[in-house]
Amino acid sequence: MLDNARSANSRDAFRALAVIVLYKMAPSESAAFRSLAAAISALQGKENRIQILLCDNTPGECIPGPLPEGVRYEAAGQNAGLASAYNRALAIARSEHYAWLLTLDQDTTLPADYLSRISELAVALQADSRIAAIVPQLLDGNQRLSPMSVKFWGTSFFSKDFRGMPRGETRAFNSASLFRVRALEEVGAFDPRFWLDYVDVNLYRQLHLRRKKVYVAGDIEVQHELSVIHRADLGVDRFQNVLQAESAFFDLYEDPLRRIFLNGRLLGRLWRQRKRGDRPAIRELTWETLKTRLLHSRLRRIQEWNAAMDERIRHSTGAANSAEPSGERPAISVCLATYNGEPYIKAQIESILGQLSARDELVVVDDASSDSTCEVIENLDHPLIRVKRHAANQGVLRSFEEAICCADGEILFLSDQDDLWTADKVATILQAFHERPDIDIVVSDAALMDRNGNPRDESYYAQRGKFRSGVLANLVHCSYLGCTMALRRRILSRILPFPVGADVFHDLWIGTANALAGGKTLFVDRPLVRYRRHDGNATANRRLSLGRKLRIRWDLCRSLLQFWLRSRSLPRVS
């Protein structure tokens, strides 16, 4: 019934995985499941293939009842949220080579011709890699919900008959949105911190930042029952999560003026709640959120929200039962080397601090900057930052060596001064280390941007070539990019001290010394850093002369030989 595949590789075939998230509802009771099954039956085209994945977030044991052949059912046993279910579906879609991912809430009703019409658009737009999503018009009865055009003062709805790609930022609800799988991979999937509310707002912002487009199919109407606009049915816990996610999104991604605008919106919301006579608990939550925004700094709010979300992620994924003796995530040290980085350093540090907990630290070694780099950092006045200044310039290698030596964490992240971290970088890297205890170093891909922050089409490794971790492979072509690297503390005896009197890159040294000692490196094929390319990069892989390339490789070989001879007398790292 659900698989009409005959030629999966046909360019004209529509291949999509549809995920429906259930909560305290049997599949047979879900309007989304019933209407999707009917739409699949009405879909024409023998080469089209639609697979359904049911992700059940109902707490406790779930009994789905009889399901049609080919429908996958997975029970989380707890309310793991939308982001977790969508990321699970994305992993399946990626591994089974689906081109599109259709996300659905349980209370969405699709028209019978929805798949026929949306699949025609998907096939027609398949060749345009700019298009990341195709969205219909979503309504709750006669009330329009989505999509919206983002303006300076807020959002506005498109006309009902609008079809095409809007010029500016477009925002849509997740339900009934059809996403290109490749585009979701490029933005790092669904941010697990926005686990339920604002998961769609955050995703569409990330797509916009990478210059991806949304195709609005305004003539396709889909009915969706939105619980948060039915105030009588809105629970206190759910409303608290809405407020937290809204506040965090503005703190992370909006400019100062729009953050002030949110404070005004909260004040207006509180006035309306009092006028309507809403429950005291609801009014109190709104007031507490407004008070927090007025009395606490932005960085403090981000840090507290990240700590709360980290705890929730650990609980929902069972990480509390991990191999860590304390039951907590390992302490993190971010090692950052700076030199005349005044134009970019504040934005980079803010993208990092938002992902750290109170147990973590940011170790900055400034290599005798002549601009105001250190003053910018000190003005942040953040308790997690430790700054050490060089009286004279010593170079990148020595700066990173000192930062690593000063670090106290179990997991050490390396960072350049002029990049930006994606919102899920720390969580993704820690998850990789947790799942693979044998891995010593994790390297991720990086999205490229120019000096002004404008994104480029290809990622770093798409442009440079496949990542390779072996010693010989890196003697020919360096694969390591320091700003994407994280390592376990246990390998410090392998990589320290860094070579003296040698022209060697710090990232190349760390990767090859670890490989020579038998260590393992894992590559995460997702951009977790926005890597700024410009002439002033302190650690960029700039074009080198042939003489410099030969000297670097000679010095690397000589240093690795010395390291190997020295390491023969050292005990193996366990």
DSSP 150-185: EETTEEEEPPTT-EE--SS-EE--STTEEEEHHHHH
Same domain, 209 and 270: no
Q: CA 235 from chain center: how many Å?
A: 28
Statement: residue 326 has pLDDT above 70: no
Residue 85: inside a domain: yes
Same domain, 244 and 372: no
pLDDT for position 222: 95
According to DSSP, residue 495 is labeled H
Same domain, 216 and 242: no
Residue 345: inside a domain: yes
Same domain, 21 and 168: yes
Where does a domain end: 229, 261, 278? 229
Q: 154-168, 213-227, 318-332, 465-479 — which is least confidently predicted?
A: 318-332
Same domain, 336 and 471: yes
Statement: residue 449 has pLDDT above 70: yes
Where does a domain end: 254, 288, 317? 317
Please state, as a whole number, how many other Cβ atoms lie within 10 Å of the Cβ of residue 52: 23
Residue 574: inside a domain: no
Statement: residue 47 has pLDDT above 70: no
Same domain, 198 and 251: no
Same domain, 529 and 388: yes
Residue 475: inside a domain: yes
Same domain, 356 and 236: no
pLDDT for position 539: 42
Where does a domain end: 317, 348, 364? 317
Residue 323: inside a domain: no
pTM for the full predicted model: 0.62
- In the structure, what pLDDT confidence band is assigned to residue 502 with cuts at 50, 70 and 90? confident
pLDDT for position 538: 43
Domain range for residue 289?
A: 231-317
Q: Check: CB of residue 447 under 8 Å from CB of residue 186.
A: yes
Residue 550: inside a domain: no
Residue with tokens 């400034």: 366
Residue 254: inside a domain: yes
Same domain, 274 and 167: no
Residues 356, 211: Cα–Cα separation, whole Å: 28
Sheet holding 148-151, edge to edge: 154-157, 148-151, 170-171
Residue 526: inside a domain: yes
Same domain, 308 and 352: no
The total number of structural domains in the chain stands at: 3
Average the pLDDT over 265-283 and give the result.
Answer: 92
Q: Which CATH number do you get for residue 150?
A: 3.90.550.10
Statement: residue 15 has pLDDT above 80: yes
Average the pLDDT over 511-536 and give the result.
Answer: 85
Same domain, 422 and 366: yes
E-assigned strands of 210-291?
Answer: 213-224
- In the structure, what pLDDT confidence band is assigned to residue 543 with cuts at 50, 70 and 90? low
Same domain, 305 and 353: no
pLDDT for position 59: 87
Q: 15-19, 349-353, 455-459 — which is least confidently predicted?
A: 455-459
